[in-house]
């Protein structure tokens, strides 16, 4: 059994890598980055066409490019990287061998095949149906088959992850419970299984329909089940990037959760209250009752919102405590001022957290309110919102993690450290502009997925106000800044991974782990020190009886913005035509 | 220990809460409850609620009803050679709007302050009813006749824009809606 027992210990961090796991993490991360590159090139076409003054592409090309941008970014880039995160959180953090590496490679192969097949279908030109592919608008069968293959691959990868947890438990590679970050990854993987099942339920009949074996697909049923897949996959992203936040807080600051109980319960809420969160995509649809909509948005969503609000406090709170214990205990914000803002691992993570909460979170709750949805549904507000969640939130968190993984996993030096230092700011601020200006255009009624909002040549055109055009122009400029930020990331990661200076590893050797405990375990802490570590810092740090008063005040700022913005929108709603 | 290592206290679910966390959880929970109650509250006291009224309908039947309305209440034609009928249905009555690739049919003329039963349905793909500059946005599905009881407030010429992607002609799918005194 020697083949499956190859481990190496990272001399810098002490992390233990199982060799097959290490290769799989690399392969999945690299595949993800390739799709980020493709999606990023397509973003140039999208953003320059939606900037009315430039209006780069013709209509058919624009819709084709937008379809591919959505799929390559939201599905292929994000999920490939998430699989890498799952393997890292199981095999590496638990110091366990990866279960069935062969299956994991098969999963990877299926995912690559599926992603390529789906991209091929979009290049054909007859499948510009957007990633949502709402029936009865149909795409070529390779569009659906590609997505199904990709999903099956991702499902197999989730089971490899679960298998690795079983291996770790069976071989007792860790003591007690799994680390919080692994716990978060487990949440993500459980949600993924539910998500992929919904995806199969809707995509398999649609595939059969596309080749003529089924005659009719009900459009409302399609939307309901599609969003059970489409929305819960966003929940995977949230669980995954919050795990990454916790991991980065631990890596950069040695931060420990304020309390394991709260953070873990918050992850559990994501699983428990996920079911029909798809409802908030259907708020403007006929044929569904208000009771159904309210129940499924609030039961299923607000408790997930609660969970995110909790993580939004506990992650920076943990950092604050760690910083204060290091001596940055002055005032409310010394801990934050003295944080390593030049380290992209930290700055990326922190911008991700702030952007996700303030821009993505608040706008998402507003739109997801049954009646408020009327004034935002299908406008540019929607892409504005999710570029804050899935780009500033998920993508930027993954980018930050990459800067940690390049030296640790790939054993290469970052090629352009100065560029790395600036990249999270360029990308984060550019994307914040995209999110804000798209939301502003949406508030003015500008539709999403629309090639030409001047409606030139239409018999009955509608003229949007000049401010809408201004917002689209600003979104265009911000988009270019974000694309530059994305290019900085890609250049640096690809350059470092393939051409970067190798980091010498003195005394590097592959440790052959015996059956049982993989590597030397640290002794469990003594109960007395444990108690001190938990119940508090004996009033030594913080203020107002709180260990993290700075984070708490930031949370209050967040709450006030949230409340104000939420009620402003009710006020706006109250001015539109009465309807019932 | 840190979040990437197993918790030191093995019974982590017995670990006490931090005070900031407890406070925040209470505040956030109260806020989430307010978020929830706003929706039923608006159903009771607000004026903008989406109808629960929808019927399964075949495209042919729906087109017939629309044509009947057009024949009865047409007041004039617009759009040059296209001769799109402008229809002035009676206040309080049914106003049918067809969404199809890639146009809205017919042009409706409504009276301000009067209430109408506005029907929306698609003949083919999904479309989006986006009334501008009011910014009322409603999904339009094939096979579902969605009835919205609406009261236009201010007179004027409004725009209807399709905001659900419906293929290559998506941007060309715009129309007018008149509100008169
Ligand atoms: C790099 C800079 C990026 C820019 C400038 C950008 C810009 C845009 C714009 C302007 C739209 C809206 C187009 C429309 O509705 O007409 C859009 C759509 C979209 N973007 Fe991005 N984006 C970027 C990166 C990303 C990333 C990283 C992700 C995902 C992780 C992403 C996911 C999406 C999705 C899912 C859509 C919706 C596609 C659809 O409507 O089907 N974008 N993007
Ligand atoms: Cu349309
Ligand atoms: Cu359309």
**Could you tell me how far CA A73 lies from the centroid of its own chain?**
11
Q: What ipTM does the predicted assembly reach?
A: 0.94
Cβ–Cβ of B176/A559 closer than 8 Å? no
Chain B's closest residue to A537, CA to CA, is B18
Nearest Cα residue to atom 6 of ligand 1:
A43
**Could you tell me how far CA A420 lies from the centroid of its own chain?**
20
- Specify the CATH class of A246-447+463-498 in words: mainly alpha
Task: Give the position, in ligand 1's atom list, of the atom nearest the Cα of A450.
Answer: 16
Cβ–Cβ of B51/A378 closer than 8 Å? no
Domains of chain B: 1-49 (no CATH), 53-180 (2.60.40.420)
Residues of chain B where predicted confidence (pLDDT) is lower than 70: 1
Cβ–Cβ of B35/A369 closer than 8 Å? yes
- Give the pairing type, strands B174-180 and B136-140: unpaired
A568 touches chain B (CB under 8 A): no
Cβ–Cβ of B39/A297 closer than 8 Å? yes
Cβ–Cβ of B8/A533 closer than 8 Å? yes
- State the Cα–Cα distance between residues B140 and B99, nearest whole angstrom: 8
Interface test with A, best of B3, B112, B136, B146 (most A CBs within 10 A): B3
Cβ–Cβ of B31/A562 closer than 8 Å? yes
Please give the DSSP secondary-structure letter assigned to residue A412: B
| pLDDT on residue B135 | 94
Q: What is the 3-state secondary structure (H, E, C) of A447-508?
A: ECCCCCCCCCCCCCCCCCCHHHHHHHHHHHHHHHHHHHHHHHHHHHHHHHHHHCCECCCCCC
- State the Cα–Cα distance between residues A442 and A436, nearest whole angstrom: 10
Verify whether ligand 1 is closer than 6 Å to residue A385 (CB atom): no
Partner residue opposite A174 with nearest CB, options B6, B82, B166 = B6
- Buried b / exposed e along A445-463 (16+ C-beta atoms within 10 A): bbbbbbbbbebeebbbbbe
Interface test with B, best of A85, A242, A374, A378 (most B CBs within 10 A): A378
The three-state secondary structure class of A112 is helix
CB pairs under 8 A between A and B: 318
B36 touches chain A (CB under 8 A): yes
- Give the pairing type, strands B54-56 and B84-87: unpaired
Verify whether ligand 1 is closer than 6 Å to residue A165 (CB atom): no
Ligand at shortest distance from the CA of B163:
3
- State the Cα–Cα distance between residues A27 and A108, nearest whole angstrom: 8
Closest residue by Cα to residue A133 from A42, A68, A56: A68
Give A379's contacts in chain B (Cβ within 8 Å).
130, 135, 137, 163
- Secondary structure (DSSP) of A226-277: HHHHHHHHHHHHHHHHHHHHHHHHHHHH----S-HHHHHHHHHHHHHT-TTG
| pLDDT on residue A279 | 75
- State the Cα–Cα distance between residues A125 and A140, nearest whole angstrom: 9
| pLDDT on residue A10 | 81
Interface test with A, best of B51, B108, B129, B171 (most A CBs within 10 A): B171
Ligand at shortest distance from the CA of A134:
1
Q: What are phi and psi of A137, to 5 degrees?
A: -80, 125
CA distance A35 to chain B (A): 24
- State the Cα–Cα distance between residues A186 and A178, nearest whole angstrom: 10
Tens of each residue's pLDDT in chain A, 580 residues: 333 457 888 877 888 888 899 999 999 999 999 999 999 999 999 999 999 999 999 999 999 999 999 999 999 999 999 999 999 999 999 999 999 999 999 999 999 999 999 999 999 999 999 999 998 898 999 999 999 999 999 999 999 999 999 999 998 888 888 999 999 999 999 999 988 888 888 888 899 999 888 888 888 888 888 888 888 888 899 999 999 999 999 999 999 888 888 999 999 988 887 655 577 788 888 878 888 788 777 766 688 888 999 999 999 999 999 999 999 998 899 999 999 999 999 999 999 999 999 999 999 999 988 899 999 999 999 999 999 999 999 999 999 999 999 999 888 999 999 999 999 999 999 999 999 999 999 999 999 999 999 999 899 999 999 999 999 999 999 999 999 999 999 999 999 999 988 887 665 555 554 433 444 444 333 333 333 344 344 557 777 878 899 999 999 999 999 999 999 999 999 999 999 8
Give A525's contacts in chain B (Cβ within 8 Å).
1, 8
| pLDDT on residue A280 | 77
- State the Cα–Cα distance between residues B102 and B170, nearest whole angstrom: 7
Chain A's closest residue to B81, CA to CA, is A459
CB-based contacts of B69-74 (< 8 A; 24+ apart in sequence)? B69/B94, B69/B95, B69/B96, B70/B106, B74/B106
**Could you tell me how far CA A534 lies from the centroid of its own chain?**
31
Partner residue opposite B172 with nearest CB, options A261, A458, A551 = A458
- State the Cα–Cα distance between residues A564 and A362, nearest whole angstrom: 10
In B51-173, at which residue ranges do the beta strands (DSSP E only) sit? 54-56, 74-78, 84-87, 94-100, 103-105, 107-111, 116-122, 127-132, 136-140, 144-150, 156-162
- Buried b / exposed e along A187-224 (16+ C-beta atoms within 10 A): bbbbbbebbbebbbebbebbbebbeeeeeebbbbebbb
Cβ–Cβ of B167/A174 closer than 8 Å? no
Tell which B residues from 118 to 147 touch A, by Cβ distance under 8 Å: 120, 124-126, 128, 130-139, 141-146
Tell which A residues from 127 to 186 touch B, by Cβ distance under 8 Å: 128, 130, 134, 136-137, 174-181
The DSSP H or E segment spanning A348 is: helix A344-354
Give B85's contacts in chain A (Cβ within 8 Å).
none
Ligand 3 centroid to B169 CA: how many Å? Answer: 7
Cβ–Cβ of A577/B4 closer than 8 Å? no
Please calculate the CA angle A437-A439-A444 and round it to the nearest 5 degrees: 95
- State the Cα–Cα distance between residues A133 and A63, nearest whole angstrom: 12
| Contacting residues for B110 by C-beta, under 8 A, at least 6 apart | B88, B89, B95, B116, B152, B177, B178, B179, B180
- State the Cα–Cα distance between residues A321 and A548, nearest whole angstrom: 6
Give B130's contacts in chain A (Cβ within 8 Å).
378-379, 445, 447
Contact A283, A223 (CB under 8 A): no
Residue A504 CA neighbour count, 13 Å, CB half: 2
Query: What angle in degrees, to the nearest 10, is found between the helix axes of A260-272 and A219-253?
Result: 170
Domain ranges of chain A: 246-447+463-498
Contact A375, B48 (CB under 8 A): no
Partner residue opposite B24 with nearest CB, options A534, A555, A574 = A555
Ligand 1 centroid to A84 CA: how many Å? Answer: 23
Closest residue by Cα to residue A59 from A49, A69, A70: A49
Q: What are phi and psi of A418, to 5 degrees?
A: -65, -40
Regarding pTM above 0.90, the answer is yes
């Amino acid at each position: 059994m020697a083949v499956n027992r190859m481990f190496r210990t990272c001399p810098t961090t002490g992390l233990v890598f199982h060799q097959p796991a290490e290769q799989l993490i690399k392969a999945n991360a690299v595949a993800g980055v390739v799709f980020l590159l493709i999606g990023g090139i397509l973003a140039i076409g999208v953003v320059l066409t939606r900037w009315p003054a430039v209006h780069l592409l013709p209509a058919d090309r624009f819709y084709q490019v937008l379809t591919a941008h959505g799929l390559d970014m939201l599905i292929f880039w994000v999920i490939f990287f998430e699989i890498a995160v799952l393997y890292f959180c199981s095999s590496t953090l638990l110091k366990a061998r990866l279960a069935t590496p062969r299956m994991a490679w098969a999963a990877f192969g299926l995912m690559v095949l599926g992603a390529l097949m789906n991209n091929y279908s979009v290049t054909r030109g007859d499948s510009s149906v957007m990633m949502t592919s709402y029936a009865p608008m149909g795409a070529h069968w390779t569009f659906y088959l590609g997505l199904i293959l990709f999903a099956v691959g991702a499902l197999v990868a989730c089971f490899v992850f679960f298998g690795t947890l079983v291996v770790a438990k069976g071989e007792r590679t860790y003591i007690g419970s799994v680390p919080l970050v692994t716990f978060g990854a487990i949440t993500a993987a459980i949600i993924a299984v539910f998500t992929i099942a919904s995806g199969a339920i809707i995509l398999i009949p649609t595939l059969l329909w596309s080749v003529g074996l089924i005659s009719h697909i009900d459009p409302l049923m399609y939307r309901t089940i599609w969003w059970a897949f489409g929305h819960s996959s966003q929940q995977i992203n949230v669980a995954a990037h919050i795990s990454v936040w916790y991991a980065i807080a631990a890596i950069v600051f040695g931060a420990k959760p304020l309390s394991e109980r709260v953070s873990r319960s918050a992850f559990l809420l994501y699983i428990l209250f996920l079911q029909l969160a798809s409802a908030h995509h259907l708020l403007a649809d006929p044929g569904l009752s208000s009771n159904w909509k309210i129940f499924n948005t609030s039961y299923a969503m607000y408790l997930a919102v609660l969970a995110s609000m909790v993580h939004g406090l506990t992650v920076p709170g943990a950092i604050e405590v760690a910083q204060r214990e290091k001596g940055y205990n002055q005032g409310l914000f010394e801990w934050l001022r003295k944080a390593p803002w030049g380290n992209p691992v930290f700055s990326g993570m922190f911008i991700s957290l702030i952007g996700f909460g303030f821009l993505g979170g608040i706008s998402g709750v507003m739109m997801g309110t049954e009646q408020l949805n009327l004034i935002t549904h299908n406008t540019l507000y929607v892409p504005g919102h999710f570029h804050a969640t899935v780009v500033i939130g998920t993508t930027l968190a993954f980018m930050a993690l990459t800067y940690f993984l390049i030296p640790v996993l790939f054993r290469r030096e970052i090629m352009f450290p100065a560029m790395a230092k600036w990249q999270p700011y360029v990308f984060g601020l550019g994307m914040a502009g995209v999110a804000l200006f798209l939301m502003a255009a949406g508030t003015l009624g500008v539709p999403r997925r629309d090639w030409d909002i001047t409606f030139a040549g239409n018999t009955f055109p509608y003229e949007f106000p000049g401010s809408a055009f201004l917002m689209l122009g600003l979104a265009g400029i911000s988009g270019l800044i974000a694309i530059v930020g994305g290019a900085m990331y890609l250049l640096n990661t690809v350059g470092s991974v393939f051409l970067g200076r190798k980091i010498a590893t003195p005394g590097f050797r592959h440790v052959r782990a015996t059956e049982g405990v993989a590597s030397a375990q640290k002794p469990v802490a003594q109960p007395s020190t444990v108690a001190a570590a938990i119940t508090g810092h004996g009033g030594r740090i913080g203020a107002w009886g709180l260990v993290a008063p700075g984070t708490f005040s930031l949370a209050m700022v967040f709450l006030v913005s949230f409340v104000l913005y939420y009620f402003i929108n009710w006020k706006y709603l109250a001015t539109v035509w009465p309807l019932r | 220990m840190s979040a990437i290592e197993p918790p030191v206290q093995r019974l982590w679910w017995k670990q006490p809460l931090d005070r900031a966390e407890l406070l925040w959880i209470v505040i956030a929970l109260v806020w989430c409850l307010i978020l929830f109650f706003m929706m039923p509250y608006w159903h009771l006291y607000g004026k903008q609620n989406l109808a629960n009224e929808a019927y399964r309908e075949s495209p042919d039947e729906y087109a017939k009803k629309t044509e009947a309305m057009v024949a009865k209440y047409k007041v004039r034609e617009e759009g040059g050679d296209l001769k799109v009928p402008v229809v002035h249905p009676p206040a309080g009555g049914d106003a049918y709007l067809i969404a199809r690739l890639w146009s809205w049919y017919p042009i409706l003329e409504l009276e301000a302050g009067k209430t109408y039963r506005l029907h929306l349905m698609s003949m083919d793909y999904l479309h989006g009813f986006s009334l501008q500059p009011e910014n009322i946005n409603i999904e339009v599905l094939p096979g579902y006749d969605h009835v919205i009881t609406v009261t236009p407030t201010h007179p004027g010429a409004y725009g209807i824009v399709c905001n659900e992607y419906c293929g290559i002609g998506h941007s060309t799918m715009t129309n007018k809606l008149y509100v008169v005194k």
